[in-house]
Amino acid sequence: MATITGNLNERPTPARRGTSSLQRLGELAIESLIRLCGYSAILFVFGIFFFVFREGAPMLFGGLDLLKFFTSTDWNPVSKTPSYGILGLLAGTASVTVLSMALAVPLGLGAAVFVSEFCSPKIKEALKIAIEMLAAIPSIVWGFIAYMMLNPLIIWATGAPVGLNVLNASIILALMSVPVIVSVGEDALKAVPDSYREAALALGASRWEIVYRVLFPAAKNGLLAAVLLGIGRAIGETMAVLMATGNANQIPTSPLDRVQTLTATIAAELGEAVQGDDHYRVLFVIGILLFVIAFVVNLSADLIVRGIRGKQNA
């Protein structure tokens, strides 16, 4: 009886057990390393938020008049009686984001439709490479383009005294967020089963009718996620807008007005603020605000994408 179970279980000989336990140790080490890498991502996110929050919190919960913070345009952090109103900066960020999306969404979704539905495989490859390269351009280079090329172009085209304004920054941000809109949008269209296209085609629909009668309704969540990710990209961008907006804290009334954004304010003023004083801390409160906006935008994009997957599995 004992021998039978022994044979069946086939215990490893002492020598083999040695190597296998060593192997197992190695595997365990690698596994925990990988696990660590995974968890560290979460750790970093929380770490960063904690750090930003710690610097901003004393001001957020003591001293800062939140009502004034959000409703006043008076941003004057270095005067004797400092005032911290970010309405102008919010308006700056909002105007640039809205106008850039007005440009980027049609362009990006149009390109996504073209790449996924209309063009030949060869052109598709070429376009995808071009779009990836567009995504890889560093934001400081976009800043240069805004400053050196778009600026004179806008002056020449509109007669405005300066070409650094909402329009300039919006064009730059649009170009920066188009790649993400195109690639996520194309994925969403690609995920629509081919049988839908065939069904519509067999009923006499043209390719364009298939796009707006079948693909848009079928892929609307993925396309919405693409747009939200584009918005996230536009809101968070700093360097390029710092160079493109003209940096004047005001509520714009036309696309040719200069503005200043939340991100650019932090980048421009953090260096001169004294560490630990109110100005410094208010800049971190703005950081928290940006964090929250980015979080909400990304989370909704994520939930929407997950919604699609869930539905497809059902």
Partner 1 sequence: MAPQTYSICTRDLNLWYGDFQALKKISVDIRASCVTALIGPSGCGKTSLLRCFNRINERYGNVRTTGEISILGKNVYDEDVSLSELRKTVGMVFQRPNPLPISIYENVLFGLRVHTRHNAINKSQRDELVETALSDVFLWQDVKDKLQSKATLLTLEQQQKLCIARLLPLKPRVILMDEPCSALDAEGTQAIETLIDTLKERYTIVIVTHNMSQAARTSEECIYMLLGEVIEHGKTKTIFLKPQRKETEMYIEGRYG
Q: Which two tokens stand for residue 288?
A: 């928290």
Using the contact rule CB under 8 A, the part of the chain among 12-20, 126-134, 212-220, 221-229 near partner 1 is: 212-220
**What residues pair up with 246 in beta bridges, in sequence order?**
259
Residue 21 vs 206, nearer CB to partner 1: 206
For the bound state, the minimum distance from the C-beta of residue 196 to partner 1, rounded and expressed in Å, comes to 6
Q: Which stretch binds partner 1 (CB under 8 A): 11-19, 38-46, 189-197, 274-282?
A: 189-197
Closest CB 201 distance from partner 1, rounded Å = 6
Candidate segments 26-34, 106-114, 131-139, 210-218, binder of partner 1 by CB under 8 A: 210-218
Residue 144 or 212: the one with the smaller Cβ distance to partner 1 is 212
Site stretch for partner 1 (CB under 8 A), options 50-58, 95-103, 128-136, 209-217: 209-217
User: Does the protein bind partner 1 through residue 213 (CB under 8 A)?
Assistant: yes
Q: φ, ψ for residue 250 (rounded to 5)?
A: -155, 160
Closer of 68 and 213 to partner 1 (Cβ): 213
Q: Does 188 bind partner 1 (CB under 8 A)?
A: no
Q: In the window 97-156, what residues touch partner 1 (CB under 8 A)? A: 120
Q: Which of 169, 200, 228, 234 binds partner 1 (CB under 8 A)?
A: 200
Burial label, 288 (beta-carbon count in 10 A; 0-12, 13-18, 19+): middle
Shortest separation between residue 191's beta carbon and partner 1, angstroms: 12
Decide: is 227 part of the binding site for partner 1 (CB under 8 A).
no
Judged by CB under 8 A, the residue of 62, 159, 161, 204 near partner 1 is: 204
Sole residue written with tokens 């989370």: 299
How far is Cα 18 from Cα 296, in angstroms, rounded to an integer? 52
Calpha distance 209→186 (Å, rounded): 18
Indicate which single residue of 198, 272, 277, 302 sits in contact with partner 1 (rule: CB under 8 A).
Answer: 198
Nearer to partner 1, 65 or 209 (CB): 209
Say how far apart CA 193 and CA 215 lie, in whole Å: 9
Which of 199, 292, 296, 299 is close enough to bind partner 1 by CB under 8 A?
199
Least Å from the CB of residue 186 to partner 1: 19
And the tokens for 243? 């160079």
Name which position in 82, 196, 247, 278 contacts partner 1 (CB under 8 A).
196
Interacting residues of 99 by C-beta distance below 8 A, sequence separation 6+:
166, 167, 170, 255
Q: Tell me if 195 contacts partner 1 by CB under 8 A.
A: yes
9 sits near partner 1 (criterion: CB under 8 A): no
* Using rule CB under 8 A, residue 217 touches partner 1: yes
Please tell me the distance from the alpha carbon of residue 235 to that of residue 93, in angstroms, as a whole number.
Answer: 7
Q: How far apart are CA 90 and CA 109, in angstroms?
A: 27
Diameter of the chain by CA atoms? 99
Which residues make up the interface to partner 1 (CB under 8 A)? 120, 193, 195-196, 198-206, 209, 213-214, 217-218
